[in-house]
């Protein structure tokens, strides 16, 4: 956080029960357990704040529904340690319990979920899919606990267990019996539906809350689910807010994590229209906060349902699933014309991944059917059966760099030359492995998903209509 003052204050330590929910690999049930925990404690009247480790748009839908509170990302590279610490500390001021869902396996990635846990002293609750193991469960739990010295372990929860007898075998395999947090029995109701980019968003399912309640009911029968608030206090973590340069301001949940005063140019008085519906749903809550903290008014529209853009100075088309709704998007000629009129006035349009896909002339779905899209960019995008790109990326805009990631199943063919390219962390030389950034008039489009708080100045350059050069 950048300060408004040079007067120093003593950093405030705030204690709150907090735990990182991790696993030995993806697909073990981390999201279900995290959401079930959030729902269970929320039903009991506790204020729960949930965070997601790493870049992820879909799991937070479930956690938001379960907790009734916004879900933000924590990543030592993408969001940065200071941002992580500030968000955790602000959450601790208003919450009775903090849950953080890990990413992939506990030690996977650089930085990993284990790195995050160790940096902030978070105890790790491990979820293990035990459906095809018995004694090995204990070996796996022991290995995860002792692989890295200094990592605090809260215990292990067995998931997708076949029977009470099976649960007993798993429990007896642990070398340290106090690590046992119980077993969730195998139940199709507790499996959240998935598609090619991950979980189906909770907002798309009419029975999402019933699924969460069923998972919470199942968890309530386990050792973990029966823990009292005193038991949770054993996992309390002192989360200290330390400003990057000491700030003489009272830190409250509404305090911006960015300083708009020193930016020189803000988005004050501007309106940014953000596409938000089933086709465009990959939106970090912190990105919306960032736009608003920069002074912008944020309004939403649905490219699936609306025929005209709302009155606005700039448009953001985030990622999502345009390939699943290509026929409806193609048929919405009125909105297409409204977007063309917006660009004809040289008003900014920032399109990420699925947003960019919709701007090309043609989208070829996985079934091979071609759809005419909005035609603001020449060329076509084609869905692939395998992942085309995945990983952290950064985009330099002048002296400022936006951090984020890329994750997509489509490829694009266009006569447009790349105006810029993203790079991987630690890579200074721009190469073909980075995502292209295409520029056509006031349109900026890329597969790159940006984390706006990583560079508010770059965000101002993207959405400020008077900006003539973004490089």
Q: Is residue 3 part of a domain?
A: no
Taking 60 as the threshold, does the pLDDT of residue 3 lie above it?
no
User: Which residues have a catalytic role annotated?
Assistant: 353
245 located within any domain: no
Structurally, how many domains does the chain consist of? Answer: 2
Integer Cα distance of 249 and 34 in angstroms: 33
Residues 299 and 224 in one domain: no
Domain assignment present for residue 358? The answer is yes
Do 77 and 175 lie in one domain? The reply is yes
What's CA 265's distance to the chain center, in Å?
A: 28
Report H helices in 256-388. Answer: 285-293, 326-331, 333-344, 354-359
Give a yes or no: residue 470 inside a domain. no
Residues 235 and 147 in one domain: yes
Task: Find the CATH number of the domain harbouring 104.
Answer: 3.40.50.300
Strands 360-364 and 370-372: antiparallel
Instruction: For residue 114, give the nearest of 96, 128, 126, 97 by alpha carbon.
Output: 126
In a domain, 256, yes or no: no
Is 399 part of any domain? yes
pLDDT band at 160 (very low <50, low <70, confident <90, very high): very high
Mean pLDDT of 319-330: 93
Helix (H) or strand (E) holding 124: strand 124-129
> Is pLDDT of 64 > 50?
yes
Number of residues that this document lists for the chain:
471
- Model confidence at 192, pLDDT cuts 50, 70, 90, reads low
Q: What is the mean pLDDT of residues 47-59?
A: 92
Output the pLDDT for position 255: 42
Share of the chain above pLDDT 90, in %: 70
Domain membership of residue 109 as a residue range = 13-240
Query: Are 195 and 301 in a shared domain?
Result: no
**Whether 71 and 165 share a structural domain:** yes
State if pTM tops 0.85: yes
């Amino acid at each position: 956080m950048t300060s408004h003052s040079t007067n120093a204050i003593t950093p405030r330590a705030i204690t709150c029960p907090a735990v990182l929910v991790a696993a030995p690999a993806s697909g073990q049930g981390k999201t279900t357990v995290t959401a079930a925990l959030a729902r269970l404690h929320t039903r009991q009247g506790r204020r729960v704040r949930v965070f997601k480790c790493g870049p992820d748009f879909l799991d937070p839908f479930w956690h938001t529904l379960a907790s009734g509170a916004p879900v933000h990302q924590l990543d030592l590279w993408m969001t940065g340690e200071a941002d992580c610490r500030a968000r955790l500390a602000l959450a601790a001021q208003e919450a009775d319990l903090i849950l953080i869902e890990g990413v992939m396996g506990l030690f996977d990635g650089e930085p990993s979920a284990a790195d995050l846990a160790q940096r902030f002293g978070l105890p790790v609750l491990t979820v293990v899919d035990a459906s095809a193991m018995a004694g090995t469960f204990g070996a796996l739990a022991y290995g995860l606990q002792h692989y890295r010295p200094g990592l605090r372990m809260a215990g292990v929860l067995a998931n997708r267990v076949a029977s009470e007898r099976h649960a007993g075998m798993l429990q007896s395999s642990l070398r340290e019996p106090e690590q046992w947090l119980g077993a969730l029995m195998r139940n199709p109701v507790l499996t959240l539906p998935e598609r090619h980019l991950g979980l189906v968003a909770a907002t798309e399912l009419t029975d999402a809350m019933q699924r969460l309640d069923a998972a919470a009911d199942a968890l309530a029968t386990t050792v973990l689910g029966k823990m009292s608030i005193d038991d949770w206090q054993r996992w309390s973590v002192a989360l200290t807010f330390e400003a990057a340069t000491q700030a003489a301001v009272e830190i409250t949940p509404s305090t911006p994590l960015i300083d708009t005063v020193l930016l020189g140019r803000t988005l004050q008085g501007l309106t940014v229209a953000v596409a938000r519906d089933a086709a465009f749903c990959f939106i970090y809550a912190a990105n919306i906060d960032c736009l608003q903290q920069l002074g912008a008014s944020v309004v939403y529209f649905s490219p699936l349902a609306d025929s005209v853009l709302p009155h606005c100075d700039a448009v953001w088309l985030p990622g999502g699933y345009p390939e699943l709704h290509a026929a409806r998007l193609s048929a919405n000629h009125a909105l297409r014309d409204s977007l063309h009129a917006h660009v004809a006035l040289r008003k900014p349009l920032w399109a990420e991944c699925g947003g960019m896909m919709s701007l090309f002339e043609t989208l070829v779905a996985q079934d091979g059917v071609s759809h005419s899209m909005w035609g603001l960019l020449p060329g076509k995008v084609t869905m692939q059966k395998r992942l085309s790109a995945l990983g952290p990326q950064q985009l330099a805009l002048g002296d400022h760099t936006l951090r984020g990631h890329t994750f997509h199943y489509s490829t694009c063919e266009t006569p447009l030359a790349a105006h810029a390219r993203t790079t991987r962390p630690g890579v200074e030389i721009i190469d073909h492995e980075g995502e292209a950034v295409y520029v056509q008039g006031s349109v900026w489009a890329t597969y790159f998903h940006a984390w706006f708080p990583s560079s508010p100045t770059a965000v101002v350059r993207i959405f400020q209509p008077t900006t003539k050069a973004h490089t």
